[in-house]
Amino acid sequence: MSGFLFLLLVTPLICTFLSCVLHKSKHAMSIIIFVVSSFSFLASILLIKGFLDIGEHLVAMNFLGFISMQLEPISLIFICMVTFLWSCTNLYSISYLKVNHEIIPTKFYFFLSISIFVTICIALAPNLVVTFIFYELLTIFTYPLVAHIGGDKECKSARIYLYMLMGASMLLFLPALGFLLAHIGHSDFVIGGIAKNLPVGSVTILFLFFLYGVAKSAIVPMHFWLPEAMVASFPVSAVLHAVAVVKSGIFIMLKISVYIFGLDYLRSNIFSFLDTNIVSVLCGLSLLISSVFAIYQTRIKLLLAYSTISQLSICLLAMSMFHPLAITAAILHMVSHAFGKITLFFASGYVYSSSKISDIKDFAGLGNKMKLIMAMFTMASLSIIGLPIFAGFISKAYIYYSAISQDINYFVLAVLSISILITADYFIKVIYIIYEEPKVISKKAEVNYSYKLHSSMTCAIILTFLGLTSYMFLYDHIVDLMSLVAY
Amino acid sequence: MMNLYYIAAFVIVLLCGIAFAYGSKIENKNPTYMAPIYLGAAISIMLTNNLLIIFMLFEIMMLSGTFMIFGGRSNLSRLAGITYFKFHILSGVLFLVGAILYYKEYKNFEFISVDLVSRLHLFHYFLLASLFINLAMPPFSSWLIEGYSATTSSGSIFLSVGVTKVAIFLLIKIFLGYRYLIYVGVFMSVYGILYALFESNIRRIINYYIISQLGVMVIATGIGLSNIEMNFIVISEIIYIALLMMIVALANSNLGKVFKVTCLIIFCAVASSLPFTPGYINKFLLYQNHFVIETIWLKYMISAISLGSAISVGIRIPALILVQKNNKKPNVVLSQKISAAVLICFTLALGIDSESILGQKIYLFGAEALKQIAIFISALLVFAILSKPLLKARSYYLPKLGFDYSILLRKIHFKRAVNLSYMQIATQLSVPRFKQNSEVIISVAIYTLMLMLLL
């Protein structure tokens, strides 16, 4: 068991080491890193198996004898998702880096691997202070990836990225953490929560401080860093700004509500009116505002970014119901959205690297030229909308189910339904343009059209797409694992 | 047992439609590939009782229907496809919420018919709203009018028998005998007839006729005919609406004289529900019902609807086809002729030998037959008097009812990003429509009036 943990933590570190050592043969480096990184996924699967054998809710572990770590179902699911999609991204990068010469492979792999290492550490942290430290480290290590190309625009965006995330965590997350430590004395993750005797009325304010302080979860006033971060290259956007970074924000919020406050305590103490608590209202507003923003976007990356913000708000909305089924629904949606969004990013990265297209209006006619990739793009967007047999349907149906399971939560039902309609609106626009016959091909696109088959990219897209379609067999296991969580 | 008749009807239409599309040399054949999926999902809905599976099948129908409309291969058809997609997403969401609320109530997705007399549950309202969108109730009818006329002719044959008929099937299953449906049905059929009267495009007229016929079926559901009678009405509707669509599609090609006259006579008889056609049986079943006999306004309303559809569709479309100038039409292909003939045979068989399905006596020469013939003759007289304005009628006499829920979002969008080609087309289509604020106001006013009447 501790061997698997060692393997899990060491593989990203080996990858960082390899990226420094093998800088002379770039192609070999990317292949070797892909092979090594896939061991981390293996390790996380074996870790889940070991966890099930022990049969406890919270398992304390030691790494190298003195660093304490903690395993529980939510973090195991999170680690499994991140490591799988990270190895997919490494597969994707093999030919992406071959085609796009502006990216420096050593720098790229070094910071990507170390970010993944930090993300895994966030998942394994035993208390909120350690979580906070790794949270800050994740911001710092992803900064070079955003400012990778080093132009003026990139540096400016990266600065905004750093200021937003650091500022929010310093001004809101840290004071809230200090308040918690001052009143309780420790911040360990304990079954049922530790915050029991807080001053009356402070629970709502403290929770809102956490909600906005963890700006990585991109709730609307704190979301500006995510569209700015889209200046990074496609694999980085795919694995970090659709999966690892933003999902670690959601993950920390879930941990705080389950293991710091405790669901029952939150349910009875958060300020609410008409059976709807203030957190639901804020998340719902964030969801609607970001969905409407997404309609305006003309660049594919920005559209995907705003879509990510709205889908993250759906996770938070599900969490804000504060009962066990809703937490499971939030986890399910977190995973399903990760698969869908990474497929979309990979497919649009494929289009970018073959023809340097990034405007949606230049996508016209691609449906007939890259049939396989565009079919997967279409199906992934149908999954994000939430149509049956795809992953998005299962998670959204589960959120609906959890919204009515005890008392019917009309607010969540209404907001979720409206958001599905708006999502359908902006994705059908893209699908329409893809299958349109181009009237006038813009000059830029005409010059650069070259539809070579980039095999490793195609393989990676197929892999994530399989995750998308096989989710109906997968989600049962996630629900089983989540049923082990004690609330 | 009744489900088997439904399946038979769908299969007949599917085979005839494929045979019809096979002959066409001009049109895109993509809708034909989608049709088995579309009608297969429709057939599967007949075989299941599980609300969640029905929802999934509805979504499959939605996707395949969207691609069928995209098969029209023009920008108009793509926009119509998007409208279709959006409306069905809306109805799908409502259906899913209804199904989940049902699950909460009964701990099971298997549908058991609930007594409607006591009170409606919450899930009933969601299911009803979803089915109303699938039935193209007027403010939500733009997907039907634009979608069915934007696709290829064979595509419109498949589409016309699909989602609306399935929705009626579910309406019968869930809401049989819910009296308030009568008012909705009357509104739908009057709307369809009025708009068909002021429309010049033949394909759009027949779409409005579909809406008015759906209205008649909703009336019948509200009255509460027996289950077998209701299902007979829907099955005959599936067959003969497909026939009417096919005849309208054939009007674009050069038919032989005899065949053309036969087709037009059949069209006239079926659409104005003369005896020996299934339309007559439907009217007969309505006239025979106790509730209709007792409620005088409804009796006259049904006669008026019959008169209206005879004028606006039954006589007007053949007249419009005959008035058309015959220049350079492609010759009709044998397979198209055969498929039309097969459908004519089935339609007449349903009209003549309906007793074997219904198991009750139908009077083909009784008072009702005389009434229908009298209605038809008066319709002929009205048409003869008003033939000039009726043949030259244009659609701009009436405000267009029907709105897109995303219209507000689009209006904001125009100012920001006009460069998208999708948006340019959207501008052409929906801005003139948006200027008519009256349409929204009228529909809201009608609904408030109806609500006030009900309360």
Query: How far does the CA of residue A394 sit from the closest CA of chain B (Å)?
Result: 11
pLDDT tier at A252 (50, 70, 90 boundaries)?
very high
Comparing B428 with A272, the larger pLDDT belongs to A272
- Chain mean pLDDT for chain A: 84
Q: Do B56 and A389 touch (CB under 8 A)?
A: yes
Q: Classify residue B440: in a domain, yes or no.
A: yes
State residue B394's pLDDT score.
64
Domain ranges, ordered by start, for chain A: 2-482
State residue B80's pLDDT score.
80
State residue B400's pLDDT score.
54
Give the residue from chain B lying closest to A388, CA to CA: B56
- Cα-based distances in Å from A197 to A194, A478, B142: 9, 33, 58
Instruction: Tell me the two tokens of residue A193.
Output: 């929560």
Q: What is the pLDDT of residues A424-467, one digit of tens each?
A: 888 888 888 887 766 655 555 554 555 555 778 888 888 888 88
Number of residues in chain A: 487
Q: What is the pLDDT of residues A182-234, one digit of tens each?
A: 888 888 888 888 877 787 778 888 888 898 888 888 888 888 888 888 888 88
Q: CB B363: neighbour CB atoms within 10 A?
A: 11
pLDDT tier at B420 (50, 70, 90 boundaries)?
very low
Residues of chain A with C-beta less than 8 angstroms from the C-beta of B122: 408
Highest-scoring range by mean pLDDT, A73-82, A295-304, B137-146:
A73-82
Amino acid letter for position A295: I
Query: How far does the CA of residue A417 sit from the closest CA of chain B (Å)?
Result: 6
Q: Classify residue B270: in a domain, yes or no.
A: no
Comparing B325 with B453, the larger pLDDT belongs to B325
Q: Do B60 and A388 touch (CB under 8 A)?
A: yes
SS3 label, residue A276:
strand
State residue A453's pLDDT score.
59
For B131-148, what is the mean pLDDT? 86
Output phi, psi for B441, to 5 deg.
-60, -45
A60 has pLDDT over 90: no
Q: Classify residue B222: in a domain, yes or no.
A: no
State residue B424's pLDDT score.
39
C-alpha span between B247 and A50 (Å, rounded): 69
- Calculate ∠ Cα B46-B50-B53, nearest 5°: 80
Q: What is the pLDDT of residues A125-160, one digit of tens each?
A: 888 888 998 899 999 888 888 887 778 888 888 888
Q: Do B409 and A401 touch (CB under 8 A)?
A: no
Residues of chain A with C-beta less than 8 angstroms from the C-beta of B405: 421
C-alpha span between B407 and A88 (Å, rounded): 40
Q: What is the pLDDT of residues B182-203, one digit of tens each?
A: 999 999 999 889 888 888 888 8
C-alpha span between B278 and B295 (Å, rounded): 24
Closest partner residue to A417 among B86, B97, B104, by Cβ? B97
Q: Do B97 and A433 touch (CB under 8 A)?
A: no
Residues of chain B with C-beta less than 8 angstroms from the C-beta of A389: 56
A392 has pLDDT over 60: yes
Query: How far does the CA of residue B79 sit from the closest CA of chain A (Å)?
Result: 8
The answer to whether the beta carbons of residues A15 and A37 sit under 8 Å apart is: yes
Residues of chain B with C-beta less than 8 angstroms from the C-beta of A401: 100, 103
B426 has pLDDT over 70: no
A486 has pLDDT over 50: yes
If one counts the domains in chain B, the total is 1
SS3 label, residue A71:
strand
State residue B411's pLDDT score.
44
Output phi, psi for B277, to 5 deg.
-120, 155
The pairing of strands A67-71 and A59-63 is antiparallel
State residue B189's pLDDT score.
92
The answer to whether the beta carbons of residues A384 and A307 sit under 8 Å apart is: yes
- Best residue in A325, A361, A431, A432 for a mutation probing chain B (most B CBs within 10 Å): A432
pLDDT tier at A337 (50, 70, 90 boundaries)?
very high
Closest partner residue to B78 among A405, A413, A436, by Cβ? A436
Comparing A485 with B296, the larger pLDDT belongs to B296
SS3 label, residue A350:
helix
- Calculate ∠ Cα B443-A418-A309, nearest 5°: 150
Beta bridge partners of B452: none
Terminal alpha carbon distance of chain B: 39
Nearest alpha carbon to residue B300 among B186, B442, B171, B169: B186
- Cα-based distances in Å from A25 to A15, A353, B8: 15, 21, 67
State residue A452's pLDDT score.
58
The answer to whether the beta carbons of residues B414 and B422 sit under 8 Å apart is: no
> How many interchain CB pairs under 8 A, A with B?
80
C-alpha span between B214 and B208 (Å, rounded): 10
Q: Classify residue B92: in a domain, yes or no.
A: yes
Output phi, psi for A69, to 5 deg.
-130, 165
The answer to whether the beta carbons of residues A160 and A224 sit under 8 Å apart is: yes
A396 has pLDDT over 60: yes
C-alpha span between B1 and B78 (Å, rounded): 39
Q: Classify residue B183: in a domain, yes or no.
A: no
- Gyration radius from chain B CA atoms: 21
For B313-323, what is the mean pLDDT? 88
Q: CB A285: neighbour CB atoms within 10 A?
A: 15
For A25-42, what is the mean pLDDT? 87
C-alpha span between A247 and A78 (Å, rounded): 8
Comparing B427 with B361, the larger pLDDT belongs to B361
Kindly state the DSSP code that residue B363 receives in the 8-state scheme. Answer: -
Q: Do A432 and B90 touch (CB under 8 A)?
A: no
Instruction: Tell me the two tokens of residue A220.
Output: 């609307």
Burial of B387 (0-12, 13-18, 19+ CB in 10 A): middle
Q: Do A421 and B82 touch (CB under 8 A)?
A: no
State residue A71's pLDDT score.
84
Nearest alpha carbon to residue A93 among A225, A229, A231, A232: A232
Q: For residue A463, how far is the Cα from the chain centroid?
A: 18
B431 has pLDDT over 90: no
For B426-442, what is the mean pLDDT? 43
Residues whose CB is less than 8 angstroms from the CB of residue A465 and which lie 6 or more positions away in sequence, other chains included: A343, A376, A379, A380
Amino acid letter for position A202: S
Beta bridge partners of A272: A277
Q: For a pLDDT cut of 90, what percent of chain A falls above it?
A: 13
State residue B244's pLDDT score.
92
State residue A26's pLDDT score.
80
Query: How far does the CA of residue B69 sit from the closest CA of chain A (Å)?
Result: 12
Give the residue from chain A lying closest to B82, CA to CA: A428
C-alpha span between B192 and B205 (Å, rounded): 9
- Out of A339-343, A354-358, B145-149, B377-381, pick the least confident: A354-358
State residue B406's pLDDT score.
43
- Best residue in B100, B140, B412 for a mutation probing chain A (most A CBs within 10 Å): B100
Which residue is associated with the tokens 């005849």?
B247
C-alpha span between B275 and B283 (Å, rounded): 10
Amino acid letter for position B396: Y
Residues of chain A with C-beta less than 8 angstroms from the C-beta of B85: 424, 428
Q: Classify residue B11: in a domain, yes or no.
A: no
Highest-scoring range by mean pLDDT, A315-324, B356-365, B394-403:
A315-324
Residues of chain B with C-beta less than 8 angstroms from the C-beta of A432: 78, 81-82, 422
The answer to whether the beta carbons of residues B154 and B174 sit under 8 Å apart is: no
The answer to whether the beta carbons of residues B245 and B157 sit under 8 Å apart is: yes
Domain of residue B452, residue span: 16-175+413-455
pTM of the model: 0.83
Q: Classify residue B444: in a domain, yes or no.
A: yes
For B30-36, what is the mean pLDDT? 83
For B327-345, what is the mean pLDDT? 85
B418 has pLDDT over 50: no
Residues of chain A with C-beta less than 8 angstroms from the C-beta of B408: none
pLDDT tier at B393 (50, 70, 90 boundaries)?
low
State residue A78's pLDDT score.
92
Kindly state the DSSP code that residue A229 receives in the 8-state scheme. Answer: G
Nearest alpha carbon to residue A129 among A260, A285, A265: A260
For B264-277, what is the mean pLDDT? 90
The answer to whether the beta carbons of residues A376 and A462 sit under 8 Å apart is: yes
C-alpha span between B412 and B400 (Å, rounded): 22
- Cα-based distances in Å from B406 to A360, A418, B411, B436: 20, 11, 9, 16
Q: What is the pLDDT of residues B59-105, one digit of tens each?
A: 899 989 988 888 887 767 777 888 888 888 889 989 988 888 888 88
Closest partner residue to B96 among A397, A428, A436, by Cβ? A397
C-alpha span between A402 and A420 (Å, rounded): 17
Q: Do A429 and B420 touch (CB under 8 A)?
A: yes
The answer to whether the beta carbons of residues A58 and A115 sit under 8 Å apart is: no
State residue A444's pLDDT score.
54
State residue A440's pLDDT score.
57
Give the residue from chain A lying closest to B404, CA to CA: A425
- Out of A92-106, A129-143, A357-371, B149-163, pick the least confident: A357-371
Q: CB B352: neighbour CB atoms within 10 A?
A: 15
Q: Do A388 and B420 touch (CB under 8 A)?
A: no
Kindly state the DSSP code that residue A63 receives in the 8-state scheme. Answer: E
Residues whose CB is less than 8 angstroms from the CB of residue A214 and which lie 6 or more positions away in sequence, other chains included: A135, A168, A169, A173, A249, A252, A253, A256
B261 has pLDDT over 70: yes
Q: What is the pLDDT of residues B204-225, one digit of tens each?
A: 889 999 999 999 999 999 998 8
Q: Classify residue B148: in a domain, yes or no.
A: yes
Residues of chain A with C-beta less than 8 angstroms from the C-beta of B419: 298, 361
State residue B445's pLDDT score.
59
Residues on chain A bordering chain B, Cβ-to-Cβ distance under 8 angstroms = 292, 295-298, 360-361, 364, 382, 385, 387-389, 397, 400-401, 404-405, 408, 413, 417, 420-422, 424-425, 428-429, 432-433, 435-436, 439
